[in-house]
Amino acid sequence: MSDPAASADAGKRRESLYPDVTAWVSGHFVPMYRRTLGGEFRWCAEWWRHGEAISRLTALWFAWEAMRLQGATGMALWYRDHLDHQLPVLLGPRGPFYQCTENEHLAPHEARTVPVPTGWLGYDTATTAPAPGPVHA
């Protein structure tokens, strides 16, 4: 006979240690992964103004929350497979904070695009392309 309490626990998602990416960045990422800033390593105190940084930090946080629960080698794998790849890109001299200093945010350059002509890609982009959403820089 199966244990009803065990079945109920199996269906529940474990609680995140941090409620959102903002809490994880300020409570874990920034205090833990310190680097001398300037030159090789860049940071922007207004990291949340950089779409790429939000995306990369959110991916790191989701993976961190999942892998911290794996025990044994979970966190070692998180470092190897996630942080060790993302950190040089995120904080690197050509990463999302490349124009910023710790004390000054500068909006990153956004590449220019030209609308795709109708039928160019074999379908009508006017009816199949997602509506552009706001990007805050």
- Residue 86 included in any domain: yes
47: domain range? 18-103
| Dihedral sign of CA atoms 25, 31, 37, 40 in order | negative
Give phi and psi for 6, each to the nearest 5.
Answer: -65, -40
- Residue 133 included in any domain: no
Provide the whole-model pTM.
Answer: 0.71
Please name the amino acid found at residue 65: E
- Residue 25 included in any domain: yes
- Residue 47 included in any domain: yes
* Spatial distance between the Cα atoms of 130 and 102, rounded to a whole number of angstroms: 35
Q: Of 117, 118, 116, 96, nearest to 108 (Cα)? A: 96
Spell out the per-residue pLDDT of the chain, length 137, in tens.
445 544 444 555 578 888 999 999 999 988 888 777 777 888 999 999 999 999 999 999 999 999 888 888 888 998 898 999 999 999 998 999 999 888 888 888 888 999 999 889 887 655 655 555 555 55
- Residue 127 included in any domain: no
Q: How many domains does the chain have?
A: 1
- Residue 9 included in any domain: no
- Residue 51 included in any domain: yes
- Residue 54 included in any domain: yes
